[in-house]
Amino acid sequence: MSLVDYFTRKPEFDILAMEEADCQPAAVLHRQRFAAPWSDGDLHGLIVQAPVFGLVARQSNAIVKGVTGGFVLSRAVLDEAEILTICVDPRYARTGLGWRLMQGAQREALSRGAASMFLEVDEANVAALALYRKLGFEKVGERRGYYQDATGRRTAALVMRRDLR
Ligand SMILES: CC(C)(COP(=O)(O)OP(=O)(O)OC[C@H]1O[C@@H](n2cnc3c(N)ncnc32)[C@H](O)[C@@H]1OP(=O)(O)O)[C@@H](O)C(=O)NCCC(=O)NCCS
């Protein structure tokens, strides 16, 4: 295979446990996708906590260290798990990474003893809502006016849940 082939081929991703070295690229991604982003230090402070785990989508077919296509952070305590955050690089949106990260998080939470998983999502977040509904999450609560966008418009946070067993 020529060098050009290496640089032009379509990236492929593995879903792997998030490590310290992933926090910096993950923070860059978080900044792109959230108005109130979490820093490298914030992410590191979370993944060192025993109940918290992270998964990253890391490019597997790169010559040098592959790009971070997305990541998810979750916390599992006793029989309940929650999604703390998830984001995918917009360059790889709608290629299945969000789905794979969520499947991985659900599997890991189950293996840690969780029976159900919770998350919170802005009712205006069409992509995330569609992903969660497709995974089988259902609305179990609502916090009215929880989010506010740049124009001042307020939207509700939906609390969603699904059984893992
Ligand atoms: C939500 C997010 C993680 C989805 O990641 P993704 O990798 O693009 O999603 P996937 O490719 O795995 O999509 C899986 C399914 O989710 C739904 N979906 C994803 N993006 C969608 C969109 N823009 N519009 C409608 N449905 C969408 C579809 O059902 C899709 O299945 P399909 O492609 O077979 O129709 C991504 O859009 C993101 O990072 N958003 C910004 C951060 C964010 O909002 N995080 C969630 C906070 S609660």
Work out the average pLDDT over 138-153. Answer: 94
Could you tell me the residue ranges of all domains in the chain? 3-163
* pLDDT one-digit tens code per residue, 65-119: 779 999 999 999 999 999 999 999 999 999 999 999 999 999 999 999 999 999 9
The protein residue with its alpha carbon nearest to ligand 1, atom 17, reads 131
**CA 50, CA 41: separation in Å to the nearest integer?**
16
- Kindly state if the Cβ of 95 falls inside 6 Å of ligand 1: yes
> Buried b / exposed e across 56-86, counting CB within 10 Å, b at 16+?
bbbbeeeeeebbbbbbbbbbbeeebbbbbbb
C-alpha dist (Å) from residue 8 to 45, 65, 66, 124: 36, 16, 13, 36
| Of 26, 78, 71, residue with least CA distance to 51 | 78
Query: Above 60 in pLDDT, residue 1?
Result: no
pLDDT-derived band at 63 (thresholds 50, 70, 90) equals confident
Specify the amino acid at residue 147: Y
The structure tokens listed for 151 are 């124009």
CATH class, domain 3-163, is alpha beta
Radius of gyration in angstroms for the set of CA atoms belonging to the chain, rounded to a whole number: 17
Q: CA neighbours within 13 Å on the CB side: how many for 82?
A: 9
Report the separation in Å between the CA atom of 30 and the middle of ligand 1, taken as the mean of its atom positions: 15
Q: Which atom of ligand 1 is nearest to the CA of 95?
A: 11
Q: Please give the mean pLDDT across all residues of the chain.
A: 94
What does the pLDDT read at residue 3?
59
Residue 94 CA, closest ligand 1 atom number: 11
- Would the pLDDT of 29 be above 70? yes
Supply the DSSP string of 89-138, one letter for each residue. -GGGTTSSHHHHHHHHHHHHHHHTT-SEEEEEEETT-HHHHHHHHHHT-E
Is residue 147 within 8 Å of residue 122, measured between CB atoms? yes
